Amino acid sequence: MSFTMGITPKADGLEGVSWNVVGQTYTPKLHSDNAFIWHATIPAETFVPPHIHPTQDEWIIVLDGQLEVEFGPDLFKAGPGDTVRMPKGIAHGIFNRSGAEANCVFGVAPSRKLYDLFVVLDGVTDPAELVRLSALHEVDFLPPPDTE
């Protein structure tokens, strides 16, 4: 896909698109072979379970609100203006435990299959189906922790 010049307005996604993914609203802002960037509205008490991008580096720039990012047993907190760096191959989970909505700009490089994943995940609520579809698009969710 080619990268085109222009402006994506603040309230709009590319071609008017937005998705509901795990209860969060993702609005694509830029998409090329080299990078995919989207705005995310992350309601309080929602999260993306721990997962790995084996083929992409990912980052988050927090615009407002607070996020917690888990890298295995390590917990990092990010607030407005902070950038979270998530290298490919490193498991990470993203949580909004703040009690208030957060707004962020996410990105991955290269794009690979993530845009297509969000297309098929739009509105999916079954965790098993989310895991299955994600694996087909180069995102590997970790099994839930053993609670016994």
Above 70 in pLDDT, residue 146? no
The per-residue pLDDT for 147 is 47
pLDDT per residue as tens digits for the range 13-57: 998 999 999 999 999 999 999 999 999 999 999 999 999 999 999
This prediction's pTM:
0.93
Given a cut of 80, is residue 148 above it in pLDDT? no
pLDDT digits (tens, 9 = 90+) for 75-89: 999 999 999 999 999
Q: Residue by residue, what is the 3-state secondary structure of the chain? A: CCCCCCCCCCCCCHHHCCEEECCEEEEEEEECCCCEEEEEEECCCCEEEEEECCCCEEEEEEEECCEEEEECCEEEEECCCCEEEECCCCCEEEECCCCCCEEEEEEEECCCCHHHHHHHHCCCCCHHHHHHHHHHCCCEECCCCCCC
Which fold is adopted by the domain 20-138? Jelly Rolls (2.60.120)
